[in-house]
Structure 1
Amino acid sequence: MAKKAVASMQKGEGRAYAKVIKMVKSPKTGAYYFDEQIVHNDKVKEHLAK
């Protein structure tokens, strides 16, 4: 039932954003971690280029 409620609440505005997951190496330990951010669709390539 919850899935229906969440799906029906989505409007056109929510589709303009994407969740970007980027693997980043920590300078302190050298280990990799995942950086997750919500970015507007127009800025996805720009965000990944950093």
Structure 2
Amino acid sequence: MAKKAVATLQEGRTDGRSYTKVIKMVKSPKTGAYVFDEQMVPNDKVQEFFKN
């Protein structure tokens, strides 16, 4: 019974599925070492994030 109640609460929500966590390795201008750039990006902007 509890599983059915939880499933009905989340049925209409898809907000979290419209974003993707992306990680890009970028060279630091100060030290020259590589650092990771982590962001939450909308699904339609993922390719644009990696182009820049």
- Name the TM-score, length of structure 1 as normaliser: 0.76
Structure 1 segments of 4+ aligned residues over 4 angstroms from their partners: none
Q: TM-score, normalised by structure 2?
A: 0.73
Give structure 1 stretches of 5+ with no counterpart: 1-7
RMSD: 1.8
Q: Structure 2: which 5+ residue stretches go unaligned?
A: 1-8
State percent identity of aligned pairs: 64
Q: What CA distance in whole angstroms lies between the structure 2 residues aligned with 1:43 and 1:20?
A: 10
User: Which one of 11, 14, 17 corresponds to residue 12 of structure 1?
Assistant: 14
* Aligned pairs, number: 43
